[in-house]
Amino acid sequence: MGLVSVKEILADAKARSYAVGAFNLNNMEILQAIIRAAEAERSPVILQASQGGIKYAGLEYITAMAKAAAEMATVPVALNLDHGTSFEQVVRCIRHGFSAVMIDGSHYPFEENVAITKRVVEVAHPVGVSVEGELGRIGGTEDDIHVDEKDALLADPDEVVSFVEQTQVDCLAVAIGTAHGVYRGTPKLDFERLSKINSLIDLPLVLHGASGVSDEDIQKAIARGICKINIDTELRQAFSEAVRKKLAEDPEEIDPRKILGPARDAMQEVVVRKMRLFGSSQKA
């Protein structure tokens, strides 16, 4: 089939009020777990490369693996740059074949966020690559990106219309109280804020930091316009738990396939569960 844009995938999600999972890939086993789940569930899916993922696997491997997976897949697959840090990085990803990019200008003042996001849209749209922007600042840690709780900011509904009109982004990540990484307490999502934002713009909204958020809150978020849900931490947990279990049961095992195989299965189960929860199963 080949890679499709996130815009294309989210158009159907918005029209039919469901959300599509965006899962971070760092190696072949994670990619296969995601794709196998998508095929089994007949679900569209978004693959994402984070800063750490690119550093670990390399842009060439990430792109080649994702392209191969999309070509073999019988469901829509997108490849998105997650939390893009610069214009130059976005251009590199587009050149390598990403079908979507996120430019995260959320650490800049509003006008600078608008300026960099607009610049990205200007190069991405002519070549059919969709763009995700971010408003507010999501707390927590993902790879090299760390935002202290005190620096986390919720998205300001007053900025939303102006941001979308000026930048022409295809989807918008909004900080509503979630955080990256493992939660210490129970996350408290600001649903009122989300409803308000959703009433102001006609655009698919994105929820970051969704690992560890209760099923009930995820469903409430989808009902209030969330169409893309990012999951990384829960895959890491499934992977590492399975590897630890295997090695505890069989400390003499030296075959990487026998160690990584159960981890791949465990991650697939997580992805299947999320697809059913998000309502994307049987939508492809």
The secondary structure of residue 248, as a DSSP letter, is: H
Listed in sequence order, the residues at least 6 apart from 186 whose beta carbon sits closer than 8 Å to its beta carbon are 214
Please report whether residue 53 would count as binding ligand G3H according to CB under 6 A. Answer: no
Residue 82 annotated in active site: yes
Please say which residue, 46 or 129, places its beta carbon nearer to ligand G3H.
Answer: 46
Please report whether residue 233 would count as binding ligand G3H according to CB under 6 A. Answer: yes
Binds ligand G3H by CB under 6 A, chosen from 41, 142, 143, 217: 142
HEC secondary structure over 90-101: HHHHHHHCCCEE
CA distances, 121 to each of 80, 87, 230 (Å): 14, 10, 21
Residues at the interface with Zn ion (CB under 5 A): 208, 230
3-state secondary structure of 84: strand
Least distance CB 126 / ligand G3H (angstroms): 26
Please say which residue, 11 or 145, places its beta carbon nearer to ligand G3H.
Answer: 145
Classify strands 179-180 and 205-207 as parallel, antiparallel or unpaired.
unpaired
3-state secondary structure of 139: strand
Interface of this chain with ligand G3H, residues 70 to 129, rule: CB under 6 A: 82-83
Computed from CA positions of residues 124, 93, 280, 196, in that sequence, does the dihedral angle turn out positive or negative? negative
| Amino acid code (one letter) for 99 | S
Please report whether residue 52 would count as binding ligand G3H according to CB under 6 A. Answer: no
Please report whether residue 261 would count as binding ligand G3H according to CB under 6 A. Answer: no
**Contact window for ligand G3H (CB under 6 A) among 149-157, 214-222, 231-239, 260-268:** 231-239
| Amino acid code (one letter) for 276 | R
Least distance CB 235 / Zn ion (angstroms): 13
Q: Whole-angstrom distance between the N-terminal and C-terminal Cα of the chain?
A: 12
Please say which residue, 214 or 282, places its beta carbon nearer to ligand G3H.
Answer: 214
Least distance CB 250 / ligand G3H (angstroms): 29
Rg (CA), the chain: 18
Query: Judged by CB under 6 A, how many residues of this single chain contact ligand G3H?
Result: 14
- How many other CB atoms are found less than 10 A from the CB of residue 158? 10
Q: Of 82, 104, 143, 170, which is the active-site residue?
A: 82
Question: Could you say which of Zn ion, ligand G3H, none residue 41 binds, taking C-beta under 5 to 8 angstroms by partner kind?
Answer: none
Binds ligand G3H by CB under 6 A, chosen from 14, 67, 96, 208: 208
Binding site for ligand G3H (CB under 6 A): 82-83, 142, 180-181, 208-211, 230-234
Residues with catalytic annotation?
82
